[in-house]
């Protein structure tokens, strides 16, 4: 049997709700390098089967709580050193002010982001926490999350490799949490590779966080980073690792497929941006591997072509803010929500606003948090159009 026949059979099996094996996935990818039509059409059929004709986003405000970080990634521009101009150490008053402004803009999500355990490395972080009356970044995040809930916004925290106890405490006030797996390849942690000086990016450490989230029943967003020197097989193995977690715990609510974009103040500034054809094949492959998953690409990182990804299997744009920049990718502004709505419509999809937790994962969150969502929720479990528009 030739490879193309094998590829067709494998993709047909996926359409019939049969899991695709690692060997079949690798073969499908290899075949798609010459002709991606079958891969793309299968991904889109699966997307239509499970996600219908809408595309979602979360209307958010980005709270850059503290961007000091104990790790160093070769491509990251988010991290700051003490006393740099871009250093962020948000006071309680600044958090309250931004929450108030976010409410006026009718944001739904309060995205709380920090560097990796900054108090372990920096005296400045310890002093900042002490000034605000807290012993740890996690304690501060819990406080900020509670403030957000009081203001009618819904917290989603992305604070790196939190331990199980910290996640359990944050779970009380966060409707979802997130951590990027990025890649499970140990090779990318070796000297000269992007994760060499980032202990928290070691695959074992990241997988442990996701395992703990599964045990705790926290709706979790994770994802993979494309174009940092990985091989296609390493990407496939990373997606399969996510699939395995989802099969075990059922709490992975979304996979972000993010394309690398070089940043001028980083070691990898001369590294080329992710090739779009390669990126699209990986997006489609993600849909093939985890057919029912919510799959997102960040529209600001593909500013001229993000709407074209609607034909290769995605169903979500992630968090978009009308108010705050993307502090992780500050050189890439979010497109205006109205522009995204129009581009989505032109592609045949209706834009809808969701909570930071998808409707199919509402059963994971506590009754008190769930009850607070009701006032702006529609019959689909999404945000009422008259609220966010």
Any idea where the domains of the chain sit in the sequence? 45-388
Place of tokens 């930071």: 356
Which helix (H) or strand (E) element contains residue 177? strand 176-178
Please tell me the distance from the alpha carbon of residue 12 to that of residue 98, in angstroms, as a whole number: 49
Neighbouring C-beta atoms of residue 257, cutoff 10 Å: 26
CA dihedral 8, 10, 11, 12 (to 10 degrees): 80
Q: pLDDT tens, position by position, for the chain (389 residues)?
A: 445 444 678 888 899 998 899 999 999 999 999 999 999 999 999 999 999 999 999 999 999 999 888 877 777 777 888 888 888 899 999 999 999 999 999 999 999 999 888 888 989 999 999 999 999 999 999 999 999 999 999 999 999 999 999 999 999 999 999 999 999 999 988 988 888 777 778 999 999 999 999 999 999 999 999 999 999 999 999 999 999 999 999 999 999 999 999 888 778 888 899 999 999 999 999 999 999 999 999 999 999 999 999 999 999 999 999 999 999 888 899 999 999 999 999 999 999 999 999 999 999 999 999 999 999 999 999 999 999 99
Residue 293's nearest CA partner among 336, 247, 237, 327 is: 247
Q: Helices (H), strands (E): how many in the chain?
A: 13, 9
3-state SS assignment for residue 65: strand
Q: Report percent pLDDT > 90 for the chain.
A: 79
Q: Are 91 and 97 in contact (CB under 8 A)?
A: no
The SS3 assignment for 219 reads coil
Q: What is the third-level CATH fold of 45-388? A: TIM Barrel (3.20.20)
Contacts of 220 (CB under 8 A, 6+ apart): 176, 177, 178, 179, 210, 213, 214, 251, 252, 253
Would you state the pLDDT for residue 7?
A: 67
In the chain, alpha helices (H):
3-15, 22-32, 37-51, 92-104, 123-132, 137-151, 164-170, 203-216, 232-249, 276-289, 337-346, 367-373, 385-388
What are 257's two structure tokens?
A: 């497929």
On whether the CB atoms of residues 234 and 184 are closer than 8 A, the answer is yes
- Provide the token pair at 330: 């500050």
Q: What is the pTM of this model?
A: 0.94
3-state secondary structure of 186: helix
Q: What pLDDT score was predicted for residue 302?
A: 97
Q: Give the angle 217-219-220 at the CA atoms, nearest 5°.
A: 115
b/e for 150-174, b at 16 or more Cβ within 10 A? eebbbbbbbbbbbeeebbebbbebb
| pLDDT number for residue 225 | 96
pLDDT at 2 (0 to 100): 45
The predicted structure's pLDDT at residue 1:
41
């Amino acid at each position: 049997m030739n490879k193309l026949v094998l590829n067709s059979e494998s993709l047909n099996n996926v359409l019939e709700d049969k899991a695709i094996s690692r060997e079949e996935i690798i073969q499908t990818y290899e075949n798609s390098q010459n002709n991606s039509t079958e891969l793309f059409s299968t991904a889109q059929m699966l997307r239509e089967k499970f996600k219908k004709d809408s595309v979602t986003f979360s209307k958010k405000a980005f709270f850059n709580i503290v961007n000091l970080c104990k790790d160093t990634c070769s491509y990251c521009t988010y991290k700051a050193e003490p006393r740099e101009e871009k250093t962020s150490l948000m006071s309680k008053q600044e958090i309250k002010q931004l929450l108030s402004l976010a409410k006026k803009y009718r944001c739904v999500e309060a995205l709380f982001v920090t560097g990796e355990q900054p108090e372990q490395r920096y005296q400045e972080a310890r002093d900042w926490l002490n000034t605000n009356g807290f012993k740890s970044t996690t304690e501060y995040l819990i406080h900020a999350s509670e403030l957000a809930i009081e203001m009618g916004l819904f917290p989603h925290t992305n604070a790196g490799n939190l331990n199980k106890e910290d996640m359990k405490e944050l779970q009380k006030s966060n409707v979802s949490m997130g951590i990027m797996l990025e890649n499970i390849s140990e090779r990318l942690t070796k000297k000269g590779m992007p994760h060499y000086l980032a202990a928290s990016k070691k695959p074992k450490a990241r997988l442990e966080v996701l395992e703990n989230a599964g045990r705790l029943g926290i709706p979790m967003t994770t994802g993979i980073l494309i174009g940092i020197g990985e091989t296609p097989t390493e990407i496939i193995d990373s997606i399969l690792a996510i699939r395995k977690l989802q099969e075990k715990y059922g709490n992975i609510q979304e996979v972000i497929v993010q394309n690398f974009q070089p940043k001028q103040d980083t070691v990898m500034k001369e590294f080329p941006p992710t090739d779009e054809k390669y990126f699209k094949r990986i997006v489609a492959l993600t849909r093939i591997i985890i057919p029912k998953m919510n799959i997102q690409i960040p529209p600001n990182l593909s500013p001229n072509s993000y709407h074209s990804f609607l034909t290769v299997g995605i169903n979500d744009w992630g968090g978009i803010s009308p108010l705050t920049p993307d502090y992780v990718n500050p050189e890439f502004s979010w497109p205006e929500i109205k522009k995204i709505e129009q581009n989505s419509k032109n592609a045949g999809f209706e834009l809808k606003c969701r909570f930071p937790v998808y409707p199919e994962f509402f059963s994971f969150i506590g009754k008190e948090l769930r009850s607070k969502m009701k006032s702006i929720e529609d019959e689909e479990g999404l945000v009422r159009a008259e609220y966010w528009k």
